[in-house]
Amino acid sequence: MIGLIAMTSQNTMRPRRERSISNNRDDESQASSEFLPLDLVLVGRVVKTCGLDGEVKVESLSDVAGRFRVGASFWVVGPCPVRIMVTSVREASGVVYLGCTEWPSSEVASAFRGCYLAIEQSERPVLLDGRYYHDQLIGLRARMETGEPVGVVRAIWSTGPHDVLVLECDGAERLLPAIKDMVVRVDVSAGQMTVRPPKGWIDNDAL
């Protein structure tokens, strides 16, 4: 996810990284989108098979605790969409390895290499106030407290102590830390946020 923005003791606004997709998107991964539910959320990507029993290495796109667990089910987004049920999970050096009933061998699982794992929007946990998923922030219009527009959120970078919002304004990029002192209000339903950038930020188009 960035999913966004959680308040922490460092006064940062940490987003969640899961991101949503729409079956209206015209891309290769949606070749058989008529078989998939609407508004899926991408939570992982199948990197490669491991061993002979169908276990796969998964790149996690989620920071939701317990997202990958025995008994969890996921949609596999690709040319041949399928629903899988996780039967085994192990982690090593921050990497997730999954086994599932539908992939009994590496030969079967290898066909899904590069595909994304997804859940339905309704399966995503509700966040506390002040926390947002990344896809909730992408596309929001940012305005100063005076009402002056300063850009549209196009991306979110994870940089360590806090995340950074990438705003696009008149073809230029502006970077704004996703911290409470600078992002003072988020209104997802209205599609906008109120920001309080540092002095000189607009003149320099940089932090």
pTM of the model: 0.66
Instruction: Please count the other Cβ atoms lying within 10 Å of the Cβ belonging to residue 79.
Output: 12
pLDDT (tens digit, 0 to 9) for every residue of the chain, 207 residues total?
Answer: 333 343 222 233 444 556 555 444 444 333 344 467 778 888 999 999 998 999 999 999 887 888 999 999 999 998 888 899 999 999 888 789 999 999 999 999 999 999 999 999 888 888 877 888 888 899 999 999 999 999 999 999 877 778 899 999 888 899 999 988 999 999 999 999 999 998 878 765 544
What's 198's DSSP letter?
P
> Which pairs with CB-CB distance under 8 Å and at least 24 residues apart come from 82-87?
82/112, 84/117
Rounded percentage of the chain residues whose pLDDT exceeds 90: 49
What is the rounded distance in angstroms from the CA atom of residue 68 to the CA atom of residue 75?
A: 13
Backbone angles phi, psi at 192, to 5 degrees: -150, 165
What is the rounded distance in angstroms from the CA atom of residue 65 to the CA atom of residue 3?
A: 13
Backbone angles phi, psi at 138, to 5 degrees: -60, 130
Q: Please check whether residue 110 is in contact with residue 49, taking contact to mean a CB–CB distance below 8 angstroms.
A: yes
The gap between the terminal CA atoms of the chain, to the nearest Å, is: 25
Q: Please check whether residue 156 is in contact with residue 2, taking contact to mean a CB–CB distance below 8 angstroms.
A: yes
Q: What is the DSSP secondary-structure string of 152-176?
A: EEEEEEE-SSSEEEEEEETTEEEEE
What is the rounded distance in angstroms from the CA atom of residue 45 to the CA atom of residue 68?
A: 12
Q: Please check whether residue 116 is in contact with residue 78, taking contact to mean a CB–CB distance below 8 angstroms.
A: yes
CA angle centred on 189, ends 186 and 190, rounded to 5°: 75
Q: State residue 16's pLDDT score.
A: 52
What's 133's DSSP letter?
B
What is the rounded distance in angstroms from the CA atom of residue 1 to the CA atom of residue 136?
A: 10
Spell out the domains of the chain, with CATH numbers in brackets.
19-123 (2.40.30.60), 134-204 (2.30.30.240)
